[in-house]
């Protein structure tokens, strides 16, 4: 738009010499010190693997890596006293359980670890009969962005922590009966 004075209304100006191709980039200056790999063009290479996650316990037990992952998960569950073995009362029903297998990768795509989780089939429960509420404390992405913005602005040091099996530390107030794996 071109405007010279209040009496001269804005007019659309075109200049064929200013037509930029979609691949042309214009320099962009940031006032903050954050530098990302995307801005510098320094992207990490990805390693592609052909390792498949097992879909059955039988196929997982055939591989020592998955067997070790299952032992690690089961040990964490027993060490945290996640359950106690009791006879099933006559008026209750037990829900089943299932092993879930996932490969956790590093940022470059290489395998970090083999993760096995024993999960209850909670979808078989009846709302308001077997449980009254569900809640999972998950932080929203906008909250993370705000915290990182504050950290950059105030030059704070940002650290991260990962608690193994943190979900096991919650207290369940309802009685839930699960079949043994």
For 39, the domain range is 28-169
Q: Is residue 174, in this structure, part of any structural domain at all? A: no
> Would 53 be classed as within a structural domain?
yes
Instruction: Give the chain's domain count.
Output: 1
Residue 15 lies inside a defined structural domain of this protein = no
Contact 34, 22 (CB under 8 A): no
Is residue 18 domain-resident?
no
Could you tell me which residue, 107 or 48, shows the higher pLDDT?
107
Phi first, then psi: what are they for 100, rounded to 5°? Answer: -115, 135
Q: Is 158 part of a structural domain of the chain?
A: yes
Rounded distance between C-alpha atoms, residue 77 and residue 181, angstroms:
12
Residue 106 resides in a domain: yes
User: What's phi and psi for 127, nearest 5 deg?
Assistant: -60, 145
Given a cut of 90, is residue 70 above it in pLDDT? yes
Cα–Cα distance, 98 to 118 (Å, whole number): 6
**DSSP secondary structure string for all residues of 85-145:** --PPPTT---B-EEEEEEEEE-TTS-EEEEEEEEEE-GGGSPBTTTBS--------HHHHH
**Rounded Cα gap, residues 104 and 119, in angstroms:** 18
Is 9 among the domain residues? Answer: no
Q: In terms of pLDDT, which residue wins out, 44 or 102?
A: 102
Per residue in 21-62, pLDDT tens?
Answer: 455 555 656 666 777 777 777 776 666 656 789 999 999 999
* Nearest in space to 171 (alpha carbons), one of 74, 89, 81: 81
13 assigned to some structural domain: no
């Amino acid at each position: 738009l071109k405007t010279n004075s209040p009496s001269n209304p804005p007019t659309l100006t075109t200049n064929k010499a200013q037509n930029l191709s979609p691949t042309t980039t214009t320099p962009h200056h940031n006032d903050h010190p954050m530098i990302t790999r995307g801005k510098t063009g320094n992207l990490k290479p990805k390693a592609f693997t052909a390792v498949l996650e097992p879909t059955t316990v039988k196929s997982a037990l055939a591989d020592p890596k998955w067997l070790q992952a299952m032992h690690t998960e089961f040990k964490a569950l027993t060490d945290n006293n996640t359950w106690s073995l009791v006879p099933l009362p006559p008026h209750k029903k037990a829900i089943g359980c299932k092993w879930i297998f996932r490969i956790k990768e590093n940022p470059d795509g290489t395998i970090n670890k083999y993760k096995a989780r024993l999960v209850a089939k909670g979808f078989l429960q009846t709302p308001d009969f077997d449980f009254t509420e569900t809640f999972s404390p998950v932080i929203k992405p906008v909250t993370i962005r705000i915290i990182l913005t504050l950290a950059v602005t105030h030059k704070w040091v940002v650290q991260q922590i990962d608690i193994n099996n943190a979900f096991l530390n919650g207290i369940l107030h309802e009685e839930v009966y699960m079949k043994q794996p």
